């Protein structure tokens, strides 16, 4: 933007200055000058500052400028601009706003100055306006523009990688419009699977590539895919004949529109590969896996579970109760089963394996899922955590304790802070045990390794007894 001129040549003059401005005196002229700029410097004929006006809160160094040449109070790169403004003021030339950096004790202050003479030999007046807010705004604008450019470049790179992955993928993939079911994009594998020439799928209606008898079923499946992510693949026959394919659809939104990503696969090959791969993965996975019926009787177990319970083979375990090997008698599995009945999943439950008289068992972490409505079955994944517990430091940070305890530094001694952290962790453990056992104090005491009397004492100590009685 070109600099603004300070000139009266092109402006409409006052119609009656003698009548309307005759009350203007020196005091009012000084106020006008103070209003015109954030900083106003009164300069003598040589350019020395003989007077000034400025807010000392915004310009704490302004008092040090008094009595010095204006050139000595600006940065080196601004001196030429100051000399040009002073020379122009002496000649009566039209003045422009010039950006000048005034020196400060901490940082230079960017300002915009204009200078005009007060008369022959009377010196001049330099009116300055602060540019710090404008500079900060320009900096934010520049950062925003750079951020947009980086995002645009990142999007271009992502699009290039997306195109490359789509074309190089051996799996047939299509992107279709969720409203019209017209194909927006399709890779080479999709063209080959549907026996279409390159580029022949774009713009066509996706259901039209399949047999007429399955199109209504396919349209209903695609509509359901937009509101559900748990649909099983659907098997359909292509319109050109050949082997049936499995269609898997998942919906997504982009720029306010809805789309479906379609994956095609051979029905027979997928079923065989999926079942075989699943069984192989479960058998060789490092974590123990157990499948039971609704009565917690073991139906299948992988090698890791056989090794965990020190059995000879999986055949030796089939038909036996899972409670014979996992959990503390009368506590863990009953609680896990109730949680599965309520939520159908249980995550990272701490329990033991191999507990019997005289042996507390090996600590493990258990996750479980409940499936089926008519024939209920349970799947368990069990992971030993004994080594993890041994490797833990004796005093660990908890997410809640860090935020609370750091506020005590400087107000309490280290010994008191350690005592506070111990109390906090003890309370959190008691709350977790009560939540885990649905406020069953007897079971919570057994899990924590405390006597009932000791647990009741701690409940009263931390003010938990009243809240639990109220919930009951």
Task: List b or e across 41-53, with b for residues whose CB sees 16 or more CB atoms inside 10 angstroms.
Answer: bbbeeebbbeebe
Residue 146 lies in a domain: no
Domain co-membership, 121 together with 23:
yes
Helical residues (DSSP H) of 309-380, grouped into ranges: 332-343
Residue 141 lies in a domain: no
Rounded CA separation 166/168 (Å): 6
Residue 206 lies in a domain: yes
Domain boundary (272, 294, 328) is at 272
**Which residues in the chain land under pLDDT 70?**
1-10, 230, 241-242, 267-276, 330-331, 357-358, 373, 386-416, 466-472
Domain co-membership, 10 together with 105:
yes
Answer yes or no: are the C-beta atoms of 19 and 33 closer than 8 Å.
no
Residues 6+ apart with CB under 8 A from 284: 302, 303
Residues 6+ apart with CB under 8 A from 258: 177, 178, 179, 226, 251, 252
Rounded CA separation 322/332 (Å): 11
Residue 187 phi/psi, 5-degree rounding, is -85, 175
CA nearest to 236, candidates 260, 259, 265, 261: 265
Domain co-membership, 266 together with 315:
no
Rounded CA separation 190/204 (Å): 13
Residue 335 lies in a domain: yes
Answer yes or no: are the C-beta atoms of 124 and 136 closer than 8 Å.
no
Domain co-membership, 214 together with 289:
no
Residue 75 lies in a domain: yes
Q: How much is the pLDDT for 69?
A: 92
CA nearest to 209, candidates 193, 185, 222: 193
Answer yes or no: are the C-beta atoms of 335 and 437 closer than 8 Å.
yes
Domain co-membership, 24 together with 123:
yes
Domain co-membership, 325 together with 374:
yes
Domain co-membership, 383 together with 404:
no
Residue 161 lies in a domain: no
Answer yes or no: are the C-beta atoms of 284 and 303 closer than 8 Å.
yes
Rounded CA separation 383/122 (Å): 92
Task: List b or e across 90-105, with b for residues whose CB sees 16 or more CB atoms inside 10 angstroms.
Answer: eeeeebbbbebbbbee
Structure tokens at 403: 């935020």
Answer yes or no: are the C-beta atoms of 97 and 112 closer than 8 Å.
yes
Rounded CA separation 111/97 (Å): 10
Structure tokens at 414: 């280290």
Domain co-membership, 257 together with 353:
no
Domain co-membership, 59 together with 119:
yes
Domain co-membership, 32 together with 111:
yes
Q: How many CB atoms lie within 10 A of CB 326?
A: 27
Rounded CA separation 211/23 (Å): 96
Rounded CA separation 95/89 (Å): 7
The parent domain of residue 40 ranges over: 5-130
Structure tokens at 76: 């080196």
The CATH number given to whatever domain includes residue 254 is 3.30.450.20
Domain co-membership, 47 together with 73:
yes
Residue 158 lies in a domain: no
Answer yes or no: are the C-beta atoms of 93 and 84 closer than 8 Å.
no
Residue 433 lies in a domain: yes
Domain boundary (80, 113, 130) is at 130
Number of domains forming the structure of the chain: 4
How many helices and strands in the chain, by DSSP H and E? Answer: 15, 17
DSSP states along 175-198: EEETTT-BEEEE-HHHHHHTT--T
Domain co-membership, 54 together with 125:
yes
Domain boundary (77, 100, 130) is at 130
């Amino acid at each position: 933007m070109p600099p603004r001129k300070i000139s009266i040549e092109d402006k409409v003059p006052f119609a009656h200055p003698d009548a309307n401005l005759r009350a203007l005196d020196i005091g009012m002229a000084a106020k006008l000058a103070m209003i015109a700029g954030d900083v106003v410097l009164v300069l003598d004929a040589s350019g020395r500052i003989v007077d000034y006006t400025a807010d000392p809160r915004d310009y704490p160094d302004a008092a040090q400028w008094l009595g010095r040449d204006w050139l000595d109070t600006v940065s080196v790169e601004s001196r030429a601009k100051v000399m040009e403004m002073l020379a122009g003021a002496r000649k009566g030339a039209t003045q422009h706003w010039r950006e000048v950096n005034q020196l400060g004790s901490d940082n230079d202050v960017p300002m915009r100055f204009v200078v005009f003479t007060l008369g022959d030999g009377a010196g001049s007046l330099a009116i300055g306006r602060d540019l710090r807010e404008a500079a900060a705004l320009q900096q934010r604008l520049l950062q925003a523009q750079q951020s947009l450019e980086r995002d645009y470049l990142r999007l271009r790179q992502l699009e290039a990688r997306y195109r490359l992955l789509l074309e190089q993928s051996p799996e047939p993939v299509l992107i279709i419009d969720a409203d019209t079911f017209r194909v927006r994009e399709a890779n080479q594998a999709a063209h080959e699977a549907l026996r279409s020439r390159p580029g022949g799928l774009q713009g066509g209606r996706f259901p039209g590539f399949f047999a007429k008898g399955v199109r209504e079923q396919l349209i209903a499946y695609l509509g359901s895919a937009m509101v559900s992510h748990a649909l099983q693949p659907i098997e359909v026959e292509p319109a050109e004949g050949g082997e049936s394919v499995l269609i898997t659809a998942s919906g997504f939104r982009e720029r306010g529109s809805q789309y479906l990503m379609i994956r095609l696969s051979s029905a027979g090959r997928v079923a065989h590969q999926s079942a075989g791969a699943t069984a192989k993965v479960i058998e060789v996975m490092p974590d123990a896996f157990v499948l039971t019926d609704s009565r917690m009787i073991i139906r299948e177990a992988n090698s890791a579970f056989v090794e965990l319970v020190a059995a000879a083979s999986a055949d030796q375990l089939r038909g036996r109760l899972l409670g014979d090997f996992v959990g503390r008698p009368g506590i863990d599995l009953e609680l896990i089963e109730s949680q599965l009945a309520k939520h159908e999943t249980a995550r990272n439950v701490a329990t033991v394996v191999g507990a019997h008289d005289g042996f507390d068992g090996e600590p493990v972490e258990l996750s479980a899922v409940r499936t089926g409505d008519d024939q209920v079955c349970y799947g368990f994944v069990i992971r030993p955590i004994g080594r993890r517990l041994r490797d833990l430091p004796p005093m660990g940070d908890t997410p809640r304790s860090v935020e609370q305890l750091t506020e005590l530094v400087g107000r309490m001694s280290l010994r008191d802070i350690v005592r506070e952290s111990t109390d906090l962790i003890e309370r959190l453990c008691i709350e977790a045990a009560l939540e885990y056992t649905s406020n069953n104090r007897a079971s919570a005491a057994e899990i924590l390794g405390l006597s009932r009397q000791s647990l009741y004492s701690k409940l009263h100590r931390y003010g938990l007894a009243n809240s639990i009685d109220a919930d009951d």
